[in-house]
Structure formats: C-alpha cells, structure tokens
Chains A and B, each alone.
Chain A
Amino acid sequence: MSDPGQGADPEKERRKIKSVQKMKEIMTNYYIEAKGAADTGKKVAWITSGGPVEPLIAMDVIPVYPENHGAMIGASKMGVELCEKAEEMGYPRELCSYARSDIGCSITGGGPIGGLPEPDFLICCNNICGTVMKWYEVASRYYDVPLFILDTPFTHREFPPAAKQYVIDQIYEYIEFLERQCGRKMDYDRMQEVGRLSVEGLRLWQAVLDSGAHKPAPMTAFDAFFHLALIVTLRGTQEAVDYYRQLRDEMQERIEQGIGMVPNEKYRLLWDNLPVWYRTKWLSEKFAAHDACLVGDTYTSAWSGVLPYIDENNFLESMSVAYSQVYINVSLDIMIDTLRRMIDKYDVDGLVMHSNRSCKPYSLGQYDLQRMVMEELKIPTLVLEADMVDERSFSESQIETRIDAFMEILKS
C-alpha cells in the first residue's frame, strides 16, 4: 500500500511480515491451477479442512477447501449476501455460515473468486464437526459426484482400540476410493514422500507458531490466521515446506532484531476458536491500541497439534489416528489440558474466546473451559459472541465495550 520512498512510516514498514507477498502469490497460483483443472485434465476433490489431504496430493488430485473459501468470503465481507442466498433456498440461518455462504456461492457463481471449481468427488472427514457431513451431502447431491466420508470417532475419555482399527480401515477404503476415481493405483513410494513432507511442513508451521512465545512476539494470531492457508491446502507439498521454512526464518530474524508485531506489547493474550474473518483487522487494531498482543491461538495450532501422534515410518495409519485427535474432536477435559499448556508456553495474561455461532463443537463447552481457566489458572477471560462469516451476528459497540472492560481488568 505505502510507497517506502515517500513518507511511509519506516517503523511500520519494519514490522510488516515480508513473506506475505510470497504467500499471496502461492495462493493465487493455487486457485488459478484449481480453476483451470478442466484444461489440465487433473481431478478436483473438495475436502474438509481437517481431512487427510496427503493421499490426494500423492494421487495428483487438486484439493479444494470450501472452508478456506468460506474464510475468503468472510474476509471479503461477502458473507451476508451469500448466506442470505442459501437462506432463500430454505437453509436455516442457524446453520454454519461457511456452509451457507459456500452453498450460496455454488448457486450464484459469486463470491471473491467467482465460485470454486466444481468437484469431481468429495472427501469429508468429520473430525471437525458433524456439520461438514451434512454440507457435503448437499454438495454431493448438487454436483452429482461421489462422496467419501472418513468417520473419526470423538474422544471423550479414551480412543479405544476399536476406534483406532475403524479409522485405519477407513484409510485403506479412502485409498481404494481414490484409485477408483482416478483410474490408477496409489504409488506408495510417492505417498511415503508426501507423508514426510507433510510432517516437515507441520513441524515448520509449529515452529512459526512457537515464535509467538518470544517477547515481544514477532507475529500475532491474526498473522497466523492468514499464513495458515498453506498448511491446510498444500500440506504434503515441497512448496508448503519451502514457504514455512522461509516464514520461520523470517520470524527468527525478527526475534533476533527485536521486532514485535504490536509496538508496545504489554499484555499477552491467547485466542480461542475460528477468526471473525470480516473483522480481523478491526480486532487486531483494537487489541493493539491497548498494547495487547494475541500471541497464540488454539485454532491455527490444531493442525500441528496432532504431531505427537504421527509416526513418520507408518505415516498413513498413524495419520488416521492422529487426525482423529484434533483439538475439537476431543472432550473438554483434554481441551483444558491443551489450553493449560498453551497458556504456560506463551506466558499469556488473558484468554479471549470467540463464541462462534457457526461452530457448535468448538463453542459449546467454552463457558465451562472459561470457568476452569479462571478458577485453576487465575487468568482473566473474555467471551466475544460473534460469527466467523455472518456479520449479522456481530455487534461492534457491544464487542468494543467488552474488550475495553476486559483490558481494564488486565491493566488494574
């Protein structure tokens, strides 16, 4: 935006993350390739954000993420219009706004990129919610394409051997499904390599996120929301590995040079739940104005959070078990353990929870987690009632008042 030659604030320029440009390039090229798939003869699969993308990469299928699309719709502030389109079709307003806005897009071909490329088939993993299954059933009927469901049982107190066997069985069913759709066999050497790249990418992404533990934090959760896209969409590729290595190095340089993202970082906060996509800038500035920095979040760390379960030598099978253990497919007791670890690691002063109307598995139970955090860890918490894409559920004045009041508590 600003021209460094003419009156740009050099201090502000110094704080900007330089890799952003590269990231934009990669994502633009990714969507150009996906939208041009018909010309290159590659298959396109729609897949849920928590789903195992690696077998698709190994089979040269282009993975497309309706949820990433939903995030773009939200960030472009096009959510309300598209959600209303779906509501006109009879989808209740209470449904997930990613689903509603994406369905609205399928019908109108509208949205920030003129709609997603049509799928040849669909891959739905319910480790993030039951909503995606219903959403993908809708897509499967609408596009008249096959749907593969990877059913990952929720962990309340344990993940029993039968559940483990079930998800492992399904990984092979998944591969058979892909072989049928693509008309060729899986190359297991290639799969092994994709698995290795996936793990490497996840480790680098975790290292990027870990940089937030430094004081001052070289990046915030708002930056993580942006840079997350590749670990979701291109996990298992060399491109994602190279990008996150570059980003990690940039974070290390920033740490060495003492560059923090928030100019006078005094209060360190942890964010819970998906972003409020249409208000990331507003929220980021709002907190920064209080010298508060969101140094970590439970959402962007959910992908790398399963690393301890992955065995590189048995990637496929361990992946299916690992992906069943993502942050929102486990009980509140397990979530509080993760929160406790993150609060400790990032050394935060407070917790900000986005109570997201669109995401019941993430949001229901937050009040209990909030209580546990306040009682056990004696850390102030703030709950913001909003929605990730549907701006009609965002009350600026109310949220502003709540943030101000919360910051007053932290400052006192």
Chain B
Amino acid sequence: MDTLENLRAVAQDPYGYARNIQATESKPILGYFCSYTPEEIITAAGAIPFRLFGTREDISRADAHLQSYCCSLVRGGLEDALTGRLNFLKGAVFPHTCDSIQRLSDIWRLNAGMALHFDAVLPVKLTTESARNYMIAVLNDFRSELEQGLGVTISDEALYKANHTCNRIRELLGHIYAFRSQNPSQLKGSDIYYIMKAAMVMDREVLVEQLAHLWADLREKGGEAPPTDRKRVLLSGGICTLPDIYTLIEDAGGEVVWDDLCTGTRYFEGEVRETGDPVEAIAERYLSRMVCPAKHKGMSVRGEHLSRLVREQQIGGVIFLFLKFCEPHGFDYPYLKACMDRAGVPTLLLEVEEQLPAEGQLRTRFETFIDMLE
C-alpha cells in the first residue's frame, strides 16, 4: 500500500487502527480533544495521543448527560465513550479548552469508566510571565501524573526525543501543506484532511516515518501538473471532521489551499526548542503559536493572522467553518469577518452540527460563493 493510501485508511477508520494497535502492541492510547494537549509528554511516556473528533453514529447515550445546546464534538465524543466504542483508550487528557469541554471532563470522569483521567488546566491568558510560569508548572505536574498513571518514568532524554519527533512531524506537515498550496492539482484537499486526521491519531514514531516517505514521494512528483484555475479558498474555524467539504468546494470550482483550523495549521504551527528544559520548551511553543479563540493573546492577533494568511497564500475567499454552539468562535466571527471585508475578501459562514447540511443546498451555496470570487 502506498503511504498516502495507508494514511487515508487510518483516517477513515481511526478506531479500527487503535483497536489493532491495542491488540498487537503494549502501547497505551490516551484520548484528547484539544490542540493544546501536550503530545510530546504523552509520546515520551511511551503512549499514543489519540485525537477524538466526535462521532458519526446516532446519539443514544450522551443526551442523558448533555443538553441540546452543546456542540456536536462534545456530544459525539461522550457518546463514543459511553457506548464503549473507545474501549481501546486507557484514559483521556483534558487541557481545559473551553466551558463545554471543561464540563465534559467532569462528565467523562464520572461516567466513561476509563482507567486514567488527566486534567491539565492550562492558563487561558497567554500574555504574561505569571501565565508562562503557571503553564510550565501545569505541564510538569502533568508529566508526574502521567508517570504515576502509566507506571513509567519520563526522562529528559525521552522528552528531547519526543520533542524532536513532534517537531519533525510538524515540519513535514508544513511542507505538505505548502506543497498542496503550490500544486493543488497534485494533492487533493480531502487528502490533506486525511493526512491531518491520521497525524493526530497515529503512533507518532511510525507517523514520522510515513510522513517522511510521503514528503519524498510528493517532492519527486512535484511540478508536473499544470496549475488549476480554481479559486483559492481558506477554511477558518475549529475542527473540521467533514472530508466531503473539500470535494464539494472543488466541484464548485474552488480549492481549499490553506486553513486556520485547530485540526489544520494550528496543530502544526510553531516549533519546540530542542535545547534547555524540555517542558519549558513545550510551554513556549503554546505561548507563541497562533491561538485558539478560547485563549487570549491580545485583542487583534487572530484578525492579523488571518489577514496575513490570506495575503501569503493568495486567498480569494474565506469560508468560516464553525461547530454550532461554539462560543469562542462565534464571538470572534463578526470581528474576523470585518477584517476580511476591509481586505476585500469575500467570506461565507458555515455552521455545522454532526452532519453537513443537505448536499444540494451546500453545493448551491458553494457555487454562489465561489462564482463571486476574483
């Protein structure tokens, strides 16, 4: 199987992949929901950080714990935990994230029946020295709790190695994104989606090898195909769990060439310093990378960042993709839209729950939107 096909297979059935790992290896698997989960520390502990994206199944159990006004990510994640579909997890890690995930942590701990549960309550404000000190302390505490929970020792050497592996993964993902942006006809948008999804669930030691192969393959292929005349689109928001979106946009004459998603560029942005204290280095990356809207790093960073991405990637239009009921993204929307209006960049807002809106309707919306792009 070629590398891309392998990553696609993992992304299409991440639970199957995890069950297989569980059956054949002794590596514990820890679930998580948030891009501020310190994967490096989990990797250094010999465990696999496994990102959860909600569920595609009907909701039968989670509604007994969550009201109708909570997002589909929280509801779907809990559903899979309660129905046993996540039985391959040894536990889960909650780095605070937002009001809903903060409560999900409690509900999960009280009901999911997993052996391990970690709350690493990171700071929300990322602009001060005291927040930095606190973040380092939380990460160090998490390191100790993980050692205790898994019955392992996490040495500085293991952390250096994990920091290096994760840096290399981020670097390769960055290369692959840049390649797609420059050669959109060579790598489909949905493939980027599958690569990212696989990257967030796979054994990072294996992943880094596979991404290196993929990158070598792409480089070899590079530049063969003629440029497309599709309109360049950027996705901005939280998580994207819908590969069909990329295809629908392509069918409508567009091309998602970049994103500002937490399952996209925000996941691989920034680098962990590979010298000095390895935990401090992890904290520094969180303090310097582009923020999730549930964190605070000044009043205008997100707007400036989006405007910069639009310029650098020569974006014709921005599609805001939010989970319904997501407050942090909802509050930032009018401001980010105003930034785009000022830059003369058309935008489209798409709020989604578990499923995409009806395909016909979505097709028309995308076509109308892409037709108006320069």
Contact = CB atoms under 8 A, between A and B. Distances in A.
Interface string A322-346: 0000000001110000000000000
A137 B99 CA distance: 17
B65 interface: yes
Contact of A138 (B99, B125, B325, B331): B331
A361 B109 CA distance: 16
Interface in A368-389: 368, 385
A95 interface: yes
B122 to A, nearest CB: 8
B111 interface: yes
Interface stretch (A125-133, A186-194, A240-248, A403-411): A125-133
A274 to B, nearest CB: 14
Contacts of A333: 106, 110
A137 B333 CA distance: 12
B144 to A, nearest CB: 11
A170 interface: yes
Contacts of A355: 67
Interface in B297-328: 299-300, 322, 324-328
A86 to B, nearest CB: 9
A165 B334 contact: no
B337 to A, nearest CB: 6
A151 B124 contact: yes
Interface stretch (A17-25, A64-72, A152-160): A152-160
Contacts of A331: 105-106
A197 B203 CA distance: 57
A385 to B, nearest CB: 7
A166 interface: yes
Contacts of B130: 165-166, 169-170, 173
Contacts of B335: 138, 141
B328 A166 contact: no
A321 to B, nearest CB: 14
Contact of B134 (A95, A162, A367, A368): A162
B239 interface: no
A130 B299 contact: no
B327 A156 contact: no
A368 B65 contact: yes
B121 A130 contact: no
A94 interface: yes
Interface in B111-136: 111, 119, 121, 123-125, 128, 130-131, 133-134
Interface in A120-152: 126, 129-131, 133-135, 137-138, 140-141, 147, 149, 151
Contacts of B94: 156
Given A92-B330, A162-B137, A163-B134, A154 B107 contact: no
A363 interface: yes
A151 B123 contact: yes
A230 B331 CA distance: 29
A360 B104 contact: no
Interface string A23-61: 000000000000000000000000000000000000000
B49 to A, nearest CB: 20
A203 to B, nearest CB: 30
A228 to B, nearest CB: 22
A96 interface: yes
A132 B109 CA distance: 26
Interface in A208-243: none
Of the listed residues B66, B94, B351, the one surrounded by the most CB atoms of chain A closer than 10 A to its CB is B66
Contacts of A10: none
Given A360-B100, A385-B67, A130 B294 contact: yes
Interface in B322-374: 322, 324-328, 330-335, 337, 349, 351
Contact of A153 (B106, B110, B111, B123): B123
B100 A364 contact: yes
B121 A154 contact: yes
A196 interface: no
B106 A130 contact: no
Contact of B334 (A91, A364, A368): A91
A94 B328 CA distance: 11
A135 B296 CA distance: 12
A138 B334 CA distance: 9
Given A131-B327, A169-B130, A364-B100, A151 B125 contact: yes
B327 A134 contact: yes
A354 to B, nearest CB: 11
Nearest to B103: A364
Contacts of B300: 141
Interface string A85-98: 00001111011100
Contacts of A156: 94, 105-106, 109, 119, 121
Contacts of A134: 293, 327-328, 331-332
B121 A153 contact: yes
Nearest to B104: A364
Nearest to A135: B331
A130 B124 contact: yes
Interface of A: 89-92, 94-96, 99, 126, 129-131, 133-135, 137-138, 140-141, 147, 149, 151, 153-154, 156-157, 160, 162-163, 165-166, 169-170, 173, 331-333, 355, 357, 360-361, 363-368, 385
Q: Which 7 A-B pairs have the closest CB atoms?
A: A162-B137, A134-B331, A90-B334, A169-B130, A166-B134, A364-B103, A156-B119
Interface of B: 64-70, 74, 94, 96, 98-100, 102-107, 109-111, 119, 121, 123-125, 128, 130-131, 133-134, 137-138, 141, 293-294, 296, 299-300, 322, 324-328, 330-335, 337, 349, 351
